[in-house]
Structure 1
């Protein structure tokens, strides 16, 4: 029986249902749990940053910054909050859950674009709906207090871009160190193993069994396994 979806957590009075099941303790192996949770917290920080940016762009608009930036900030928040969760967090969640190279590759492809977008948001090109460094610094000559308020989302964007780059580097180093490759991802795509829950479960169980066997090597041999002594070597 499939587990009942629990994310996003929606209050009972709203006539909508959660779309995903998420449980780090149950689904993510212990050795990957910390990294997976940190990426989830990074997604939360990204969402908070877009919300703070919306407030900053609203203040910017009141100070004469134009309606375009405020409208774009609304689009950033409404569009990129669910898209970032579906397009890069869910792939890395499933990658850690099932040791799927295909999902790792999907994460790298989307998250690299996310890092690039975060850097652009951090820069703050006027008209793009982001209170970045260019927009904030240029507004100091018009209104000091509004520029100081715009500085808050600018610092959020800077933190998000920096942490996103660090996270990308750490996940890439982990993936390469674990023996992952593009060829393995292509093989999963060709065989369809990336979307078959039964194969994913079997792969996870096999990986867990291999880890257990590595910890207890003396129990891996049956009575039929030939034994060798020093004279036979």
Structure 2
């Protein structure tokens, strides 16, 4: 039988356009490996991810709200105690001394309760700076003691002064600049800010001089350590460590002084407010009022007795 011109398979590939499934209009819509097929397509995948992200954001906000609520509760309790006279019965907790010690704590300190949250990090940093300065004075005493053991003739005065600086600066720095800074941030006191700036600046200048280490000054600074290096290497290394410690404290003190000054300017404090606070504090003091009343009474009596 004669075969016709057409083959038995109507979709035989006689040319690239004879097969309708090879038409470019069809092939360009075939699924490619780059796209997910119906077997792996999950229409709820994006919704689940969005729900998880929203839940995490809600939990984060809830934790933040809880922290703020706790802080407000602490503030409210503190104000209630102050209004009821609780500050008079509040027990001091610093320095933390054991109960059997005859000396009791002299101050009450609670940064998380008394200091606003935005200033707590700054106050904590200054507290750690005071602790580091105390440790530096103790190490300075040990370094001067070691230097005195090596060179007793030339290091006797430095050893004696190192004892004096440790006993003097440790309590005075806490009372004279740390507590004013603490009270300034606690009650937004312009007067305490000014006291802190003046005394802490003097303190930082002293630590700069301590880092320099002038001979016979009572500080194991760079100059004193280099002079002992020719005599005893071990003692010189200890003095160099103390000098490095003093240098770090002085640099950190300058940085914190600038930071606190910028915070002070943002709080709206001023010299006029400091004067008003000082005047109000002086005239509210019972001893000052009693002395003023006695002076006025004495002046009046003298005026009446005069001929």
TM-score, normalising length from structure 2? 0.61
SS of 1:192's equivalent in the other structure is: helix
- What's the Cα RMSD here? 1.6
Which of 150, 153, 157 is residue 63 of structure 1 equivalent to? 150
Aligned to 1:129: 218
Q: Is this contact kept in 2: 1:6–1:18, CA < 8 A?
A: yes
Tell me, in whole angstroms, the C-alpha distance in 1 between the residues paired with 2:179 and 2:144: 29
Which of 174, 184, 194 is residue 85 of structure 1 equivalent to? 174
Residue 157 (str. 1) matches residue 246 (str. 2): yes
Aligned to 2:116: 29
Give runs of ≥4 in structure 1 deviating > 6 Å: 193-196
Q: Is this contact kept in 2: 1:49–1:156, CA < 8 A?
A: yes
Residue 118 (str. 1) matches residue 210 (str. 2): no
Tell me, in whole angstroms, the C-alpha distance in 1 between the residues paired with 2:129 and 2:198: 17
Structure 2 residue runs without a partner (length 5+): 1-85, 286-307
Residue 138 (str. 1) matches residue 227 (str. 2): yes
Residue 108 (str. 1) matches residue 197 (str. 2): yes
Which of 5, 14, 17 is residue 104 of structure 2 equivalent to? 17
Offset of residue 179 of structure 1: 2.1
Deviations 1:82-112 (A, max 9, x none): 0000000000000000000000001001001
Structure 1 residue runs without a partner (length 5+): 197-233
TM-score, normalising length from structure 1? 0.80
Greater CA drift, 85-94 or 60-69? 60-69
Q: Is this contact kept in 2: 1:188–1:194, CA < 8 A?
A: no
Tell me, in whole angstroms, the C-alpha distance in 1 between the residues paired with 2:196 and 2:226: 34
Aligned to 1:41: 128
Offset of residue 118 of structure 1: 0.7
Offset of residue 59 of structure 1: 0.6
Larger radius of gyration: 2
Aligned to 1:74: 163
Offset of residue 136 of structure 1: 0.7
Which of 276, 286, 289 is residue 187 of structure 1 equivalent to? 276
Greater CA drift, 162-171 or 184-193? 184-193
Would you say how many aligned residue pairs link Structure 1 and Structure 2? 196
Q: How does 1:194-213 map to 2 (within 5 A)?
A: none
Tell me, in whole angstroms, the C-alpha distance in 2 between the residues paired with 1:86 and 1:191: 21
